[in-house]
Structure 1
Amino acid sequence: MTSIVQRAAFAYLKNNARLSHSATAGGHGGGWQLWKRLSLFVAFPAVGLGMVNAYLGHQEGHHEQPPFVAYEHLRVRTKRFPWGEGQKSFFHNPHVNALPSGYEH
């Protein structure tokens, strides 16, 4: 009984040694070609289409600002921002983001 277990363990270790050697010796079995093709024909075109979509979506025109409503739970400032006058966030856009008192213009 132990000889069968020993033979199975030896075969398992021998097979693993061969697989690990093929992985380090450059025997990837062509997997790199799949990822190269996916990168060239799927990933790069997807990034390009996203860039075109962002550019053309920005070209549509200027949208009107929604009316300002001073809700109590929005634009709460418990502490001033450490830059500027302290009311505008770091990525403040005056056309989109309102201050606690309303839009800037």
Structure 2
Amino acid sequence: MAYVLNQGIRRFMQTSVRRSAQVEGPSAVSGQHEGGYKIWKNITFFLAFPSIVLCAVNCYLSHQSGHHDPPEFVKYDHLRVRTKRFPWGDGNRSLFHNPHTNALPDGYEHH
């Protein structure tokens, strides 16, 4: 009797696990490997690439519009604090200093 009961429980557990593992519809894990890659392929071609092109066009057009003046310099006490000199150059400019966009503690550089 215990053998029959044990076999019945085993069969029930195996079929319930199989039923819960089955996936309906397209999925990358459905066993037939259908659908998952198609979704990502379509997202790449119809969403990612056009977004990259639109961003590139936006950057190009904004660059062509002319020279961009930096914002008006306001000397705040908590910005551009120099407690120690930088170990390169004159000690006042950061390593990636850009005179058009980065202000010094006294203001923008005038060229």
- TM-score, length basis structure 2: 0.69
**Could you list the runs of 5+ residues in structure 1 that have no partner in the other structure?**
none
* Equivalent-residue separation in structure 1 for 2:16 and 2:87 (angstroms): 63
Q: Matches of 1:16 and 1:64 in 2, distance apart?
A: 63
Alignment root-mean-square deviation, CA: 3.0
User: Matched residues, percent identical?
Assistant: 51
**Hey, what's the Cα distance between the residues in 2 that align with 1:83 and 1:11?**
71
When residues 4 and 83 of structure 1 are mapped into structure 2, their CA distance, relative to the original with a 3 A threshold, is farther
Q: Deviations over 1:40-99 (max 9, x none)?
A: 111111111111111111221123333333221111112222332222123322122110
- Give unpaired runs (5+ residues) of structure 2: none
* Cα distance between partner residues in 2 of 1:35 and 1:65: 41
Letter in 2 for 1:86: G
Report the structure number with the largest CA radius of gyration. 2
Write the distance in 1 (CA, Å) between the matches of 2:59 and 2:19.
51
Larger helix percent: 1
Number of residue equivalences: 102
